[in-house]
Structure 1
Amino acid sequence: MKIKTKSKKVNKAWLHDHVTDPYVRLAQKEGYRARAAYKLKEIDEELHLLKPGQLVVDLGAAPGAWSQYVRRKFAPRDAAGGGAAVGALNGTVIALDLLDFEPIEGVHFIQGDFREEAVLAELQAAVNGRPVDVVISDMAPNLSGIEVSDAARIAHLVELAVEFSQQHLRPDGALVCKVFHGSGYSQLVDLFRSSFRTVKPIKPKASRDKSSETFLVGRGLKQQA
């Protein structure tokens, strides 16, 4: 009985935090599917990564908030001053996730597991040999609570995102990737530093204080030996 009571208290605390979260309220007001949009917005406003006309690949895209943000960035400036959620689109957004999500106008969505070769081949076919300007990855595995096992799963997804970027990014392109502080974090920073000329870790204000997540941004590919 004590376990159930504790669980209810935790759920109530989470619900209270969620309902009163200013980013949740802002997402509802501005039509974003999740508060995560403001994490990418902060990163973009600091580093100026996203510009109309680009090809952007969104990995781990569901429920679609990051793709929504990019899609609005690509809305022509003569369309209500830019930021339109529908209509013309100056740029290309390719989104991929294991989970399905409600379509976003102008966004090419691929459903599947990024770790599977067939799904990766479908993504590569969608890119169609074009140089990618920015790869954004909010991918995260289902965590087991076993630190060593979880660190390995996280690292694998980050390594796949880096490998995809090495193969498809234009030389001055960028990768934004979610990582977690803890076991294996320093190795992922080293991986980024060996792959990109400039590496910057960012903890957006929109990322909850309790969360161990942070984002690594790599810019400018290094030539691989």
Structure 2
Amino acid sequence: MSGEKNKGSGRGRRDLTIRVKTAKGRKLSSTLWLRRQLNDPYVQSARAEGYRGRAAYKIIEIDDKFGFLRPGARVVDLGHAPGGWSQVAVARVNALGERRGKPVGRVLGIDLQEVEAIPGAELHVLDFLSEGADALVRDWLGGRADVVMSDMAAASSGHPPTDHLRISALVEAAIDLAEEVLEPGGTFVAKVLGGGADASLVARLNRIFAKVQHVKPPASRSDSSEKFIVATGFRGKPV
């Protein structure tokens, strides 16, 4: 009977939080980061499900809301390392053809560094800012993309205004590429910081997409300033 009284109340149960001792030579900040990682349910789920990082759940939750990673879709994942977003895209667009009767999609990962192969994804080492990158992407795809997505973030400087400018520049460059490679009706997804994309970026996206929204998926830590901008219904590059 006493066991029934404690059920659901939390009393009489062991604290399952993993505590990490501060090792010699390890900074307190590193210890706190390690503790957070070990106790993060998304990190634990990523390990159990074979994803390369908890970031996979961000694109899962964004796509659950907007539904752009459909079977048969052609996806360009900019700055795809370590590969979690590409893994999700492969499964959802049916890049491996495992869902019989459904169209087979394509996933193209672009990054500055070489990444371990992802079954079903075509990975290329390329600076997407370089001249002619858009033509290479279209050539590799054999046409245009249905989705351009980016979880890229510039290295933190520790100075929020500077970091905001850096990631805004990355988003601007990603939009440049999207204009050149997206099919009409396509979708653009990118990470932004702080209050969201700059007003000028939002205005630009509103000119070339039917709908533009900011979203903070549950997998994005509450103490993180990141958000994502999702633009759907690409109208085509302005003439």
- TM-score bracket for this pair, using the shorter chain length: 0.7 to 0.9
Q: 5+ residue gaps in structure 2?
A: 1-23
From 42, 46, 65, the counterpart of 2:84: 65
Identity of aligned residues (%): 39
Deviations 1:118-139 (A, max 9, x none): 55543243133x1211111111
Secondary structure class of the residue paired with 1:197: strand
Q: By percentage of residues, which structure has more helix?
A: 1
Amino acid at match of 1:13: L
TM-score normalised according to structure 2 size: 0.80
1:159 is matched with which residue? 172
1:206 is matched with which residue? 219
2:115 is matched with which residue? 101
1:91 maps onto 2:105 in alignment? yes
1:170 maps onto 2:163 in alignment? no
Q: Quick check: 1:203–1:215 contact (8 Å CA) kept in 2?
A: yes
Deviations 1:88-115 (A, max 9, x none): x921110001122110122111113222
Secondary structure class of the residue paired with 1:105: coil
Moved more, 159-168 or 15-24: 159-168
1:85 is matched with which residue? none
Q: CA RMSD in A?
A: 2.6
Q: Structure 1 runs of 4+ off > 6 angstroms?
A: none
Give the superposition deviation at 1:35. Answer: 0.5
CA separation in 2, counterparts of 1:182 and 1:219? 20
CA separation in 2, counterparts of 1:124 and 1:183? 29
1:8 maps onto 2:27 in alignment? yes
**Counterparts of residues 103-182 of structure 1 (less than 5 Å):** 103-117=117-131, 119-128=133-142, 130-181=143-194
Q: Say if 1:196 and 1:17 are closer, same or farther in 2 by CA, change over 3 A.
A: same
CA separation in 2, counterparts of 1:185 and 1:18? 31
Q: Quick check: 2:134–2:181 contact (8 Å CA) kept in 1?
A: no
2:56 is matched with which residue? 37
Deviations 1:34-64 (A, max 9, x none): 1011000001111111111111100010000
TM-score normalised according to structure 1 size: 0.85
Q: Say if 1:140 and 1:78 are closer, same or farther in 2 by CA, change over 3 A.
A: closer
Give the superposition deviation at 1:183. Answer: 8.8
2:21 is matched with which residue? none
Q: 5+ residue gaps in structure 1?
A: 83-88
Secondary structure class of the residue paired with 1:18: helix
Q: Say if 1:15 and 1:153 are closer, same or farther in 2 by CA, change over 3 A.
A: same
CA separation in 2, counterparts of 1:170 and 1:209? 34
Q: Say if 1:70 and 1:19 are closer, same or farther in 2 by CA, change over 3 A.
A: same
Alignment size in residue pairs = 214
| Higher RCO structure (Cα 8 Å, ≥6 apart) | 1
Secondary structure class of the residue paired with 2:27: helix
Q: Say if 1:183 and 1:67 are closer, same or farther in 2 by CA, change over 3 A.
A: closer
Q: Say if 1:50 and 1:185 are closer, same or farther in 2 by CA, change over 3 A.
A: same
Q: Quick check: 2:46–2:52 contact (8 Å CA) kept in 1?
A: yes
